[in-house]
Amino acid sequence: MSTSATATLVALGVNPASELTGTTADQTTGRVLPVRGELADLLPWGGLRRGSTVSVGGSTSLLLALLAGATADGCWAAVVGLPHLGVLAAAELGVAVPRLALVPRPGGEPGAVIAALLDGIDLVAVEVTRSVSPSLARRLSARARQRKAVLLAFGSWPGADVELHVVGTRWEGLGRGHGKLRSQTLTVRVGGRGAAARPRHVELDLVGGGKVVLQGDDWNGAPARKGPTCAS
């Protein structure tokens, strides 16, 4: 991220999840940002395509898991809204928190904050609230396309390229009055436009450390595809 972009974020009151100084500027390559494990099979491009909008519903765990691969490979990510988002949970799902910026309360003009972030950050996750009107959502998607950023909407977003909605959740690891949670299984309904238009359901097992195991009605068991890295 450039010095000018960093200055803009500081002026907007962006709070880093970890220390932001002392890092080199990102040298991004490729049109598709990597995702961890078999999350690639949720997306028609095998990763997060620059300029795309992906809506996520029903689970912040899935939202964080989508940020993990790109941040681990050197990309910057920001989360706007979601004031109760757990940084520890993000780290356990594989997010590189030194490259995660948090804007828990964007104020009365969230559109200006989101647009500024799209200008300087690879992935911007946005909580969908009443202050984000359909017309503003369309303008922000156009901004993401123009700036080659990825817009991740937590909630329904008009015209999203891919829609991922968690319709079921179960936890593993707890016994009768003992044990600890080891993994979370999500049933995800996948839809969207173009190559993602055919709806399907997929089960994801999210395990600490960013490990993802995927099963689905049309998954062929192929190994994970590795996308291009964000940093050289």
220 contacts: CB under 8 Å, gap ≥ 6: none
Cα gap 141→156, rounded to integer Å: 13
* pLDDT above 90: residue 55: yes
Cα gap 212→206, rounded to integer Å: 5
**Any domain includes 201:** no
Reported as a single tens digit per residue, the pLDDT across 163-212 is 999 998 887 766 555 555 567 788 899 999 887 888 888 888 877 654 45
**Any domain includes 203:** no
**Any domain includes 167:** no
H/E/C letters for each residue in 157-219? CCCCCEEEEEEEEEEEEECCCCEEEEEEEEEEEEEECHHHCCCEEEEEEEEHHHEEEEEECCC
Q: Which pLDDT band, with edges at 50, 70 and 90, does 224 fall under?
A: very low
Cα gap 146→41, rounded to integer Å: 26
Q: Are 100 and 75 in contact (CB under 8 A)?
A: no
- 177 — phi, psi (to 5°)? 75, 15
**Any domain includes 64:** yes
Structural domain total, the chain: 1
**Any domain includes 77:** yes
Q: Which domain holds residue 132?
A: 3-162
Cα gap 103→124, rounded to integer Å: 10
**Any domain includes 171:** no
Reported as a single tens digit per residue, the pLDDT across 100-118 is 999 999 998 999 999 999 9
* pLDDT above 70: residue 10: no
Reported as a single tens digit per residue, the pLDDT across 124-145 is 999 999 999 999 999 999 999 9
**Any domain includes 173:** no
- 199 — phi, psi (to 5°)? -70, 145
- Of 18-27, 37-46, 152-161, the poorest mean pLDDT is in 18-27
Query: Residue 103 sits in a domain of what CATH number?
Result: 3.40.50.300
